[in-house]
Amino acid sequence: MITEAVSRRVQELIAGGTAFVTATVVRAQRPTSAQAGDVALVLADGTIEGFVGGMCAQSSVRLYALKALESGEAVLLRILPEGSADLGGEEGAVTVQNTCLSGGAIEIFLDPVLPAPRVRVVGDTPVAAAIVSLGAPLGLDVAPGESSPGDLALVVAAHEHGEVDALRRGLEARVPYVGLVASRRRGAGVLDELRAAGVSEQELAHVDVPAGIDIGSRTPPEIALSILAAIVAVRRADRRASVEPPPLAIDRVCGMTVAAVPGTPSLEYEGETLYFCCEGCAARFEEQHGVVTRA
């Protein structure tokens, strides 16, 4: 169950714009040490805060939680002991065999929580206000202000006030979507000003003007809708908004795939860092190969 401490930590991570996964045990068979309702948080660096099973189970939880962060999609993780017959898969679920599991299956729901992509709007116009108003229900962090690296989108709806400078800053920040609310004629004039200021043709081609998808919009809310639709399309196509996929390694003892991140048991051997599913496998490797250095 989610304790008060876990709930506070969740709110802290959300407030700080930190990506994480909530891992909730939904089914556990004896003799697993976890119980249904146990909850842990998995951070993007592989840190696990809380308890959802022993080291062997945690290794699979860490790996698939990081994959969930990368994809942005929730998944049901089924961890079965070696030799289990039920290895069938289905949409939204993944089943793995854990050769080190002491016995008993465990199912854990992994739910990624990603920071809302930032959309910045320049201008004090009805269209700008409508974009800010309609953006939140789409899971976007929409607010007035200038763009910065890491933002998803910049919309300039300033009606000739500081448009060139705002657009240039958005292009310099490499914001995936940069839109200008203007007619085609006036938009062409703004692009000419940017061109005269030294902005390359490649960068100018990145500016969406008139901003938004052509739906025949006329009113400020309709124009805002068309622009937000274009931003959503970019959001779904742009991979920079996702967490990087975890580097993978193979446990040299049991053969499991593990995340090669801090928190995963590891050893230094012959100039290479080796990762293991649990301390038991790491200790067995030490016994088999003599002196190694703990990473």
- Express each pLDDT in 86-117 by its tens digit: 555 677 788 888 766 556 789 999 999 988 89
The phi-psi region of residue 238 (left if phi > 0; otherwise alpha if psi is between -120 and 50; otherwise beta) is beta
Residues with Cβ within 8 Å of residue 243, at least 6 apart in sequence: 19, 44, 66, 69, 70, 114
Q: Are residues 129 and 105 in the same domain?
A: no
Assigned domain for 194 exists: yes
Residue whose C-alpha is closest to residue 272's, from 255, 249, 240 = 249
Global pTM reads: 0.70
- Domain stops at, among 52, 83, 114: 114
Domain at 183, CATH number: 3.40.50.720
- Domain stops at, among 79, 114, 149: 114
Q: Are residues 56 and 156 in the same domain?
A: no
Q: What percent of the chain shows pLDDT beyond 70?
A: 91
> Which structural domain range is residue 79 located in?
4-114
Q: Are residues 237 and 123 in the same domain?
A: yes
Q: What pLDDT is attached to residue 19?
A: 92
> Residue 223 class from Cβ within 10 Å (0-12 exposed, 13-18 middle, 19+ buried)?
buried
Q: What percent of the chain shows pLDDT beyond 90?
A: 52
In whole angstroms, give the CA distance from residue 53 to residue 36: 11
Q: Determine how β-strand 248-250 pairs with β-strand 257-259.
A: antiparallel
> Is residue 162's pLDDT more than 90?
no
Q: Are residues 232 and 132 in the same domain?
A: yes
Q: Are residues 103 and 126 in the same domain?
A: no
If residue 77 lies in a helix (H) or strand (E), which one and from where to where? strand 75-81
Assigned domain for 285 exists: no
Counting Cα atoms < 13 Å in the Cβ hemisphere of 13 gives 20
> Is residue 241's pLDDT more than 50?
no
Mean pLDDT in residue range 46-52: 90
Assigned domain for 16 exists: yes
- Domain stops at, among 114, 136, 160: 114
Total number of domains in the chain: 2
Q: Are residues 144 and 61 in the same domain?
A: no
In whole angstroms, give the CA distance from residue 281 to residue 295: 14
